[in-house]
Structure formats: C-alpha cells, structure tokens
C-alpha cells in the first residue's frame, strides 16, 4: 500500500505543478495504459496514472466552474444561499454564496463582500436575492506571498465580487434549523453572550467551532512566535483527539455493562463512539477541508478496529493518503496536508524505530515531531519557533485533555440550553487564560523565532535524510551526521547582488506601489502599498518578500507620499524589520521619519542614489510633492517617481534635463492621464516602463493614451496587475527585461499574465 500511495501522491503533484493543463483529449491516451497496468497487476503504475487522470479531470471541472470573463464587471441579480458563517470586518461583511439556477452560467460557489451591509445582517444558510458585480478569481503574485488564486481554486470558488447597494437586495427565506452553519451560528451567538467581555472569546470560538474571525493580530503573533498556531486549526490533532475520547469513553462504558448489545465487543463499540464524536466535532468546525482530511484518516482507523483487522499503522496512513487525495486531489496545495501527514509519519517512525521508554514516550514523540517538521516549516514559512517545544509541551496536553473535552461537552449542552453549559464555558475560559499567559510569556523571548530565506528542494531532501538519521534506532553508527545534514537549512545564505549590481523588484500590491531595491550589502524599500481594514500589503506582501530573500534589516524605508496606497503597509514593515533610516515627503505622517529633499544623495556598494524631488519648502499637491529617486549603476538606471503629475514633471525637466534619462521608469501615478506628459517621457526616454496598478482597477490605470505615449517613444510597457511582481537584475549582462513572477511561476489555476 505504501508504494501505490506514493505513486498516487506523485500523480496529483505532477498535475498541480503543471504550468498548463492538458486538453481533455490527451487524457484519453492514458486509458490504454490503465488497462495494461490493471491486467499486469502493476499497482504502482496503475495508481500513478489514475491519479494523473483523476486530478486532471478535477482540474478541468474546477476551471470550467470559473466565471465567464465576458460577464465580469456587470451588475447581475442572483438568488441563492449563504454557504458560510459571515465574517464581519469593520464596515464589510464577507461570506461564500451558492447561486441557484440562473439564466446566466455562474460558478457553483462565489465569495462576496458587502460594504456597509444593512441592519438585517445575513446569516448562514439564509436564502437571499442580491445585486452583485463579479470578477474572475485573481490575487496578487509575489515571491514569498500568499497565493490567493491557489486558495480559491482549492476551495472551489469560481468568482469573487461585491454586493451593490440596491433595494433589490432582500432576504427570501430564513435558514433551516437543521443546517450545520445555522447550528454553528446559534452556538456562536450563545458563546458571545456568555463571554462578551472576555479577551479569549476569539480563541474559544476558534477551538469550538473553527471560527477565527475575531482573532486579532496580536493573538496570531503570539501563536506564530510560540509555534502553536496549529492548535487553532481544527484538523488532525483535534479530530483525532475527539475520536480517541469517544473511543475510550464508550469502550469503558461498554465494559461495565452486564450484557453486550448487538453482539459488539467493547473495541467495536468504542470505534463507533470515536467515529461519532469525531463527526460531531467535524460538524462543529463546519466540515472545513482540513477537517474533512482528518475525518477520512479517523474513519480508516476506526473501520479497521471495527472489522477486527490488524492493519499496520503505515498501511492505515497510506490508505488514508489515497482516500484524502481521491476526495480532493488538490489537497497537495495545502500546507496543512503536508504538516499533518508528516507529523503522523514521524510519530510512527519514532514509535517503531526509537522505541522510547513508556514513561517518556510523550516527551520523545513531542520533541521529535518538532524536529521532523522543522524543514517543512522553514520551507513553507521561512521561519520556525525555537520555543515551540516548550510551548507545545504544555499547550498540547492542556488543549487536548482539558480544553477540547470541556468544549465538546459544553457545545453539546449549549445546543440544548442546559444551564451548566454556561458554567463549563466559564471554566474553559479560565483555563485558556492561564495557558495564554504562559504562551505570552514565552513569546516575549527575543530568540523565539528563527528565520531563514527560501531554500532549494535539494536542501530540503538533504535535511530529511538528516532527520531520518537522527531518529534512527539507538546504536546506529554516524548519527551525528544527521545533525550535520540538518544544519544547512538553518544557516542557508541566499545569493545577493555583486558590487555595483542592483536587484530591483516592483511588487504586486494591487492598486498601489511598493518596490524593493537590493545592492550587495543594502536593502531599500520604496513605498509599502495600501491597507484596507485589517489587511495591509506591508504584512501580506512586503514582509514575506523580504523574508523570502533572507533580508535581516532595512537600510532605508522611503515613502514617496502619505496616500494610503503608498504608506498603508509601512507600520507592518517597521514592526517586522529594524530600519536604519526613514525618508518621506511628509515626515509628520510617520513617526521617526525625516524629509526626503532634492539634492540628497548617497552611495551603496558602488551604486549611486539621488533624490530629485521635492525641493526645500516646495508647495504643491500631495501627489506633486512625492519623493523622486534615481538609482544609477554602471549597468543601468532606474527612476522612481511616486505619484507626481504634470506640474512636478515640468519642474523636473526644467531642473534636471538630461539627468532624468533612465533605462527603467516606474510610471508616475500608476499611469494616470494626469502624468507621463510627452515632454517628460521624451526626457526620460526609458527602455522599459513599469506600471504599478491593480488588475482591472476602478481607475482604469494605466490609461490607454499613456501606454500609447510610451509605446510611441519606443518604450516597452509592463504592469504588475497583469504580470505580478516584476523583477530586474541590473548586472554586467545588462539584460534589463523585467521578469514576470506570474509567468515564471505559472500554474494551472493562475490567470494568464496577458489577460
């Protein structure tokens, strides 16, 4: 079973990593191979080919379910059911929606935002009529950043959009009292009423029903630093725990009976009880995808117990892997999938080969899981918590044996309004407050998190070999070699530009601007993109990019001006990175900053930096007072212009004339009609023009006439909204053509860079 499981996993991975999905008819060519493998009992080949066909078929179905681009941006009146718990965020409500039959072909599931929603807040499973404006699934594409398009693809969401303000928006039908989400929503309401003023309400909601909408950034930061985020994601640990509790509770009760019922042994009865409690907890969590994966694994284990078959744990894990991937081939895109199976595999490995003494079993397993998952955590997140073993040593037993059992009982009692449920909820909150104090204390350690840049698959394989050697049975020769093979991922140093070289990246931050300039020993961030409510591109895009490239500190943060789409992410960047110097045109808008002024210049690693604008005491609009920075290397030049408009452009042409000439320019004001005048373009005479503008933004940036002016001047244009992050290496090869991250990392779910 192990080899077929690996083969099935490989087939799913191969399709998931394809840049383009093969046409339907290509799949037909694989069916003869399936028949041959079946007749010759080549089960490994068979499962691999079946995985290819099945995953490709599922991919075609998901892509066919996406919104037709021809109806994008139109007002559409839809009816359907709210398919998730609505998420409140400032003045916005967000939820998933399942449209009913419609005269226009719509995706089976769409994700909607409602800005300034009505007093009658929509609830899960209610039927509504809504006037919506939709767009195809799309997200920002950056090195190290969250792949939103991949997430939408995993969730089978075929469109996103927002609800228009209209009298046509109305509730048509109340939610069924038998629906899962209605039940969860009712429990949330009762918990909120009981723990209204508790700072730990969000944590309890996350552990009880998988709702993490109330979590604030400080709480997430504590979980991140202590390596305990997994405790808030109801998945393998929680569902497995519920199954174990149900199994041992029913097994014990069954033994106490004088007669057996239904001729079931105590273990068989326990298996039924364990599965039922696991299903109950999975329903509480809304049957999320991670929960479904865990439930499949639990079902396989409980079924093997029920049929009284002694199945090797590795065979159970292999069968679970195949079933999970059969139900959802694109589970391979989820980090949780890899961490869950890796954790279980490491437990099996330690239990079989290390065989620690029973009294130290828990401690050994706990420590070795932490070691085993380290390479994956560094690969996926570019960081790992050094205090995670200490944190989890306390947190996992407390959550597993106290908090979760209490919550399961409490939720059952709360569902039928038994008064003792309120007291149990209060006890749970007090336990959680003690645990949270401990986690907060650990998170205060200055060495809580170890960060490393993204490393190669080769280093990952090397580290896995090292872990296997470290976990080898006692007496295994050369076990110290395991530690040696593991060390490189902790001290991996990424490539940097050479002397006089510049690596320039214009990040994809939607409708906004952020760029990162790297020289041999220095890093400058120019603008940080926008912020909207709880979301900001500083923490979502800029910081992950810097971690991806192993940046330890910033030598300078320059904010061109104080508009939200340029300064929105600044606080997050400054919180994440020590920064030597901050320059901006409005220093009163950002603590610790100094003014950027015409005439300022410096040199880093044989690369010259000059500020051309604004002058001292210069007046003008906020846009026209943007910092203008020129970067000069022997191998090429870049001009960053912020949001300057014609007035500032005229002044720059008058003052600097030939000095404005640059190989690459980030177009003023995102390509607005109010900028990029003909005289300015003629003076700069760029070979490449980069537009920092969002995909199908409401301003229609860049303006068609602006693009035409640059093209007429012989410049080649590129846009972050369609191409993702744009990367240029200014080096002796002098190939200044921008590389598109969306094109480099092309996957089957990604929107084409030319769309």
| HEC letters along 350-398 | HHHHHCCCHHHHHHHHHHHHHHHHHHHHHHHHCEEECCHHHHHHHHHHH
What is the pLDDT at residue 140?
A: 96
SS3 at position 683:
helix
CA-CA-CA-CA torsion sign (189, 191, 197, 200) = negative
- Report which of 372, 306, 305 is spatially closest to residue 339, judged by C-alpha positions: 372
- Report which of 514, 502, 580 is spatially closest to residue 542, judged by C-alpha positions: 514
Judge whether residue 753 has pLDDT over 60: no
Q: What is the dihedral of CA 529, 675, 685, 632, to 10 degrees?
A: -40
Domain ranges of the chain: 2-64, 69-175, 183-333+392-451, 502-744
What is the pLDDT at residue 507?
A: 98
The DSSP line for 616-648 is TT--S-TGGG--EEEEEETTEEEEE-TT--HHH
The pLDDT confidence band at residue 754, using thresholds 50, 70 and 90, is low
Judge whether residue 734 has pLDDT over 70: yes
What is the pLDDT at residue 449?
A: 83
Both structure tokens of 138: 């799309």
Phi and psi torsions of 592, nearest 5°:
85, 0
Q: Report which of residues 631 and 314 the model is more confident about.
A: 631
- Report which of 171, 164, 154 is spatially closest to residue 73, judged by C-alpha positions: 164
CA-CA-CA-CA torsion sign (100, 105, 108, 113) = negative
CA-CA-CA-CA torsion sign (196, 89, 546, 590) = negative
- Report which of 564, 563, 628, 638 is spatially closest to residue 596, judged by C-alpha positions: 628
The 10s digit of each residue's pLDDT in 458-500 is 888 888 888 888 877 777 777 778 888 888 888 888 889 999 9
- Comparing 36-40, 236-240, 505-509, 606-610, the range with the smallest average pLDDT is 36-40
H/E stretch holding 176 reads none
SS3 at position 119:
coil
SS3 at position 565:
helix
State the CB neighbour count (10 A cutoff) for residue 369.
Answer: 22
Helix-helix angle 266-284:404-415, to 10 degrees: 70
- Report which of 272, 273, 278, 379 is spatially closest to residue 335, judged by C-alpha positions: 379
Rounded average pLDDT over 59-74? 92
**HSE of 8 in the Cβ direction (CA atoms, 13 Å)?**
23
Find the length of the chain: 755
What is the pLDDT at residue 607?
A: 98
Return the CATH superfamily for domain 502-744. Answer: Ribonuclease Z/Hydroxyacylglutathione hydrolase-like (3.60.15.10)
125 and 67 Cβ atoms separated by less than 8 Å: no
502 and 633 Cβ atoms separated by less than 8 Å: yes
Rounded average pLDDT over 145-164? 94
- Measured CA to CA, the distance from residue 696 to residue 350 in angstroms comes to 52
- Measured CA to CA, the distance from residue 89 to residue 93 in angstroms comes to 6
- Measured CA to CA, the distance from residue 640 to residue 547 in angstroms comes to 23
Provide CB contacts within 8 A for 701, sequence distance 6+: 511, 669, 670, 671, 672, 691, 693, 694
The pLDDT confidence band at residue 258, using thresholds 50, 70 and 90, is low
- Measured CA to CA, the distance from residue 218 to residue 231 in angstroms comes to 16
pTM over 0.75: yes
What is the pLDDT at residue 408?
A: 87
The conformation of residue 553, written as its DSSP 8-state character, comes to -
SS3 at position 517:
strand
The 10s digit of each residue's pLDDT in 545-587 is 999 999 999 999 999 999 999 999 999 999 999 999 999 999 9
Highest mean pLDDT among 369-373, 424-428, 517-521: 517-521
The 10s digit of each residue's pLDDT in 332-389 is 998 888 888 888 888 777 766 666 556 666 677 777 788 888 888 888 888 888 888 8
Phi and psi torsions of 598, nearest 5°:
-50, 130
Rounded average pLDDT over 391-411? 88
What is the pLDDT at residue 424?
A: 92
Both structure tokens of 422: 């309120």
What is the pLDDT at residue 619?
A: 86
- Report which of 651, 655, 704, 706 is spatially closest to residue 678, judged by C-alpha positions: 706
- Comparing 119-133, 360-374, 541-555, 610-624, the range with the smallest average pLDDT is 360-374
Helix-helix angle 420-443:180-194, to 10 degrees: 80
- Comparing 41-50, 366-375, 417-426, 536-545, the range with the smallest average pLDDT is 366-375
Question: % helix / strand / coil in the chain, to the nearest 5?
Answer: 50, 15, 35
Long-range contacts of 723-727 (CB under 8 A, 24+ apart): 723/141, 723/508, 723/753, 724/140, 724/141, 724/142, 724/508, 724/753, 725/141, 725/142, 725/143, 725/505, 725/506, 725/507, 725/508, 725/545, 726/505, 726/506, 726/690, 727/143, 727/503, 727/504, 727/505, 727/506
The pLDDT confidence band at residue 262, using thresholds 50, 70 and 90, is low
Q: What is the dihedral of CA 612, 618, 620, 623, to 10 degrees?
A: 30
CA-CA-CA-CA torsion sign (497, 501, 502, 503) = negative
CA 615 to chain centre: 42
Rounded average pLDDT over 269-282? 90
- Report which of 405, 389, 388, 403 is spatially closest to residue 433, judged by C-alpha positions: 403
190 and 414 Cβ atoms separated by less than 8 Å: yes
CA 404 to chain centre: 26
Percent over 90 (pLDDT), the chain: 50
Where on the phi/psi map is residue 139: left (φ > 0), alpha (ψ -120 to 50), or beta?
beta
Provide CB contacts within 8 A for 566, sequence distance 6+: 512, 513, 514, 527, 528, 529, 530, 559, 560, 642, 643
The DSSP line for 53-104 is HHHHHHHHHHHHTSPPGGGTT-EEEEEEEE-S--EEETTEEEEEEEE-S-SS
The 10s digit of each residue's pLDDT in 665-720 is 999 999 999 999 999 999 999 999 999 999 988 899 999 999 999 999 999 999 99
Peptide bond into 614 cis (omega under 30): yes
Judge whether residue 39 has pLDDT over 80: no
569 and 557 Cβ atoms separated by less than 8 Å: no
**HSE of 535 in the Cβ direction (CA atoms, 13 Å)?**
12
Q: Report which of residues 391 and 726 the model is more confident about.
A: 726
Q: Do the domains 502-744 and 69-175 match in fold? A: no
Both structure tokens of 541: 């895009």
The two beta strands, 531-532 and 523-526, are unpaired
Q: What is the CATH number of domain 69-175?
A: 2.40.50.140
Count Cβ neighbours within 10 Å for each residue of 328-351 and write b for 16 or more, e otherwise. Answer: bbbbbbbebbbbbbbbbbbbebbe
CA 214 to chain centre: 18
Q: Please, what is the Cα angle at 540 between 730 and 150, to 5 degrees? A: 95
CA distances 319 to 4, 11, 107, Å, are 9, 16, 32
What is the pLDDT at residue 359?
A: 61
């Amino acid at each position: 079973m192990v080899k077929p499981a690996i083969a099935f996993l490989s087939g799913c991975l191969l399709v998931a990593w394809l840049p383009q999905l093969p046409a339907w008819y290509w799949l037909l060519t694989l069916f003869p191979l399936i028949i041959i493998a079946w007749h010759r009992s080549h089960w490994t080949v068979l499962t691999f080919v079946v995985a290819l066909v099945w995953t490709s078929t599922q991919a075609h179905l998901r892509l066919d379910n996406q919104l037709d681009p021809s109806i994008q941006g139109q007002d559409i009146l839809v009816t359907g059911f709210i398919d998730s718990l609505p998420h409140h965020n400032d003045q916005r409500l967000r939820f998933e929606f399942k449209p009913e039959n419609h005269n226009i072909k719509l995706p089976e599931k769409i994700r909607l935002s409602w800005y300034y929603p009505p007093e009658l807040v929509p609830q899960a499973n209610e039927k509504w009529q809504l006037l919506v404006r939709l767009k195809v699934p799309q997200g920002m594409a950056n090195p190290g950043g969250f792949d939103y398009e991949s997430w939408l693809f995993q969730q089978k969401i075929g469109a996103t959009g927002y609800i228009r303000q209209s009298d046509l928006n109305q509730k048509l039908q109340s939610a069924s009292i038998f629906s899962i989400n209605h039940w969860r929503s009712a429990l949330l309401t009762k918990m909120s009423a009981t723990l209204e003023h508790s700072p730990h309400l969000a944590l309890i909601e996350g552990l009880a029903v998988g709702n993490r909408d109330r979590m604030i950034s400080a709480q997430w930061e504590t979980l991140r630093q202590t390596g305990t985020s997994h405790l808030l994601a109801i998945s393998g640990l929680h569902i497995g725990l519920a199954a174990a509790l149900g199994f041992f509770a029913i097994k014990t009760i069954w033994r106490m009976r004088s007669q057996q019922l239904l001729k079931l042994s105590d273990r068989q009865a326990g298996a039924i009880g364990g599965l039922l409690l696991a299903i109950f907890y999975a329903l509480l969590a809304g049957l999320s995808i991670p929960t479904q994966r865990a439930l499949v694994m639990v079902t396989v284990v409980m079924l093997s117990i029920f049929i009284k078959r002694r199945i090797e744990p590795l065979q159970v894990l292999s069968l679970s892997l195949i079933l999970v991937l059969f139900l959802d081939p694109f589970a391979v895109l989820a980090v949780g999938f890899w961490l869950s199976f890796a954790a279980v595999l490491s437990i099996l490995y330690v239990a079989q080969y290390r065989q620690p003494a029973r009294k130290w079993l828990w401690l050994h397993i706990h420590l070795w899981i932490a070691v085993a998952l380290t390479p994956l955590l560094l690969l996926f997140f570019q960081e790992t918590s050094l205090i995670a073993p200490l944190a989890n040593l306390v947190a996992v037993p407390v959550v597993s044996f106290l908090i979760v059992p209490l919550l399961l009982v409490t939720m059952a009692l709360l569902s039928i309004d038994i008064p003792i449920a309120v007291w149990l909820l209060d006890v749970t909150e007090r336990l959680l407050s003690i645990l949270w104090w401990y986690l907060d204390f650990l998170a205060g350690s200055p060495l809580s998190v170890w960060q490393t840049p993204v490393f190669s698959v080769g280093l990952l394989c090397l580290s896995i070999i090292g872990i296997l050697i470290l976990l080898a049975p006692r007496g295994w020769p050369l076990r110290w070699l395991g530690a040696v093979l593991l060390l490189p991922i902790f001290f991996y140093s990424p490539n940097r530009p050479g002397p006089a070289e510049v690596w320039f990246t214009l990040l994809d931050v939607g409708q906004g601007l952020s760029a990162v300039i790297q020289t041999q020993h220095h890093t400058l961030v120019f603008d940080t993109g926008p912020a909207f409510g709880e979301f900001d591109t500083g923490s979502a895009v800029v910081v992950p990019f810097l971690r991806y490239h192993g940046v330890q500190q910033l030598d300078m943060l320059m904010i061109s001006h104080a508009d939200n789409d340029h300064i929105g992410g600044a606080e997050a960047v400054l919180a994440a990175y020590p920064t030597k110097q901050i320059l901006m045109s409005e220093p009163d808008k950002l603590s610790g900053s100094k003014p950027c002024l015409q005439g300022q210049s410096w040199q880093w690693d044989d690369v010259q930096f000059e500020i051309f604008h604004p002058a001292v005491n210069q007046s003008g609009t906020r846009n026209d007072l943007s910092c203008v920075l020129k970067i000069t290397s022997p191998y090429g030049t870049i001009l960053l212009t912020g949001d300057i408009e014609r007035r500032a452009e005229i002044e720059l042409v008058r003052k600097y004339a030939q000095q404005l000439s640059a190989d690459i320019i980030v177009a003023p004001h995102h390509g607005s009609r109010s900028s990029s005048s003909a005289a300015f373009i003629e003076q700069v005479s760029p070979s490449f023009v980069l537009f920092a503008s969002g995909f199908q933004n409401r301003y229609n940036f860049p303006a068609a006439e602006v693009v035409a002016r640059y093209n007429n001047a012989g410049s080649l244009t590129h846009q972050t909204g369609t191409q993702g992050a744009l990367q240029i290496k200014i080096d002796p090869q002098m190939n200044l053509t921008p590389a598109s991250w969306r094109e480099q990392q092309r996957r089957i779910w990604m929107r084409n860079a030319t769309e």
